[in-house]
Amino acid sequence: MIALGLEGSANKLGIGIIEHDIETGQVNILANVRHTHITPPGTGFLPRDTATHHRAHIIPVIREALKTANVKVKDIDVICYTKGPGMGAPLISVAVVARTLALLWNKSIVGVNHCIGHIEMGREITGANNPVVLYVSGGNTQVIAYSEHRYRIFGETLDIAVGNCLDRFARILNLPNDPSPGYNIEQYAKRGNKFIELPYTVKGMDVSFSGILSFIETVANEQLSTGQCTPEDLCFSLQETLFAMLVETTERAMAHIESKEVLIVGGVGCNLRLQEMMAQMAEQRGGKVFATDERFCIDNGIMIAHAGLLAFRTGFVTPIEKAICTQRTDEVYVAWRDAN
């Protein structure tokens, strides 16, 4: 069975084509094509402009994916698209294309939860069995574990996502958005050697980042011009503080469900320092960390195609009149996994 996946919940437009061999269980990635809306340094991306980007590029990117996969329209069994969560205008732009193709090509359509796309792709690529999942991106920060056909949220951000915190601080420093603000902060942090104490806000299983961002912006305005610290020092301090909070809440979830595995997914999951800190914690518990590279941790269409095809194989389809954009991780019934 072959699925076409369309992802456009933020500034990455991704088209993926995947094949599941029903007899052998083999999963083959046939195409994973992306086009990113990149804005000037010191700026973010707005929903309207991002939607315009997606509308302008989605047809050429779909054609490129079909060519790369050497797949014809008649070979596709189902069209999968990101149902949410994400930015409204970009999501709707991609959903309209998914619905249109489903009608034009007479194909079934499956709406996919963005987070579950990340999780299922991560499980497939890494071989993680039943991990605690740390989902960290520009729009989401959640600690998740699976139970009784649902991905249960153990903890999450109370305000902004960790990736949004990093992105907004990159704008304060006027760092480039190419290839991504978070990547450039990671490179700056490697050269930092002075740790500046920042607020550490963990509330039970939840975290809060907005106060940290306000605090470090004040420090930047007061101390950079006087030479008391460098941009590299601030990036280093911010990463160490944010990631320590994430490691703490993830470890608590591991203890609760008695898991030895951690799977890091989402765009911030590419950060090698986060992976290193999480691995140190997991090793102390006799566990292991699983993570993917930028092909799969950054938003992509292949994860939507994969999760959508898993659901489609259980008989699930999204009625065309309900192919809209709204969802939360723990609302989705995960029929393709065992109950425990």
> How far from chain centre, in Å, is Cα 223?
33
Is 124 annotated to bind ligand? no
Is 75 annotated to bind ligand? no
Residue 47 near residue 87, CB atoms below 8 Å: yes
Is 136 annotated to bind ligand? yes
Sequence-separated contacts (24+) of 310-316 with Cβ below 8 Å: 310/120, 310/336, 311/110, 311/112, 311/335, 311/336, 312/1, 312/3, 312/77, 312/78, 312/80, 312/108, 312/110, 313/1, 313/20, 313/22, 316/110
Is 286 annotated to bind ligand? no
Residue matched to tokens 């590299």: 232
Is 269 annotated to bind ligand? no
Is 167 annotated to bind ligand? yes
Is 192 annotated to bind ligand? no
Residue 207 near residue 158, CB atoms below 8 Å: yes
Is 149 annotated to bind ligand? no
Is 338 annotated to bind ligand? no
Is 151 annotated to bind ligand? no
Is 117 annotated to bind ligand? no
Is 138 annotated to bind ligand? yes
Q: Which residues fall in the annotated binding site for a divalent metal cation?
A: 114, 118, 135, 299
Q: Which residues fall in the annotated binding site for substrate?
A: 135-139, 167, 182, 186, 271
Q: Which residues fall in the annotated binding site?
A: 114, 118, 135-139, 167, 182, 186, 271, 299
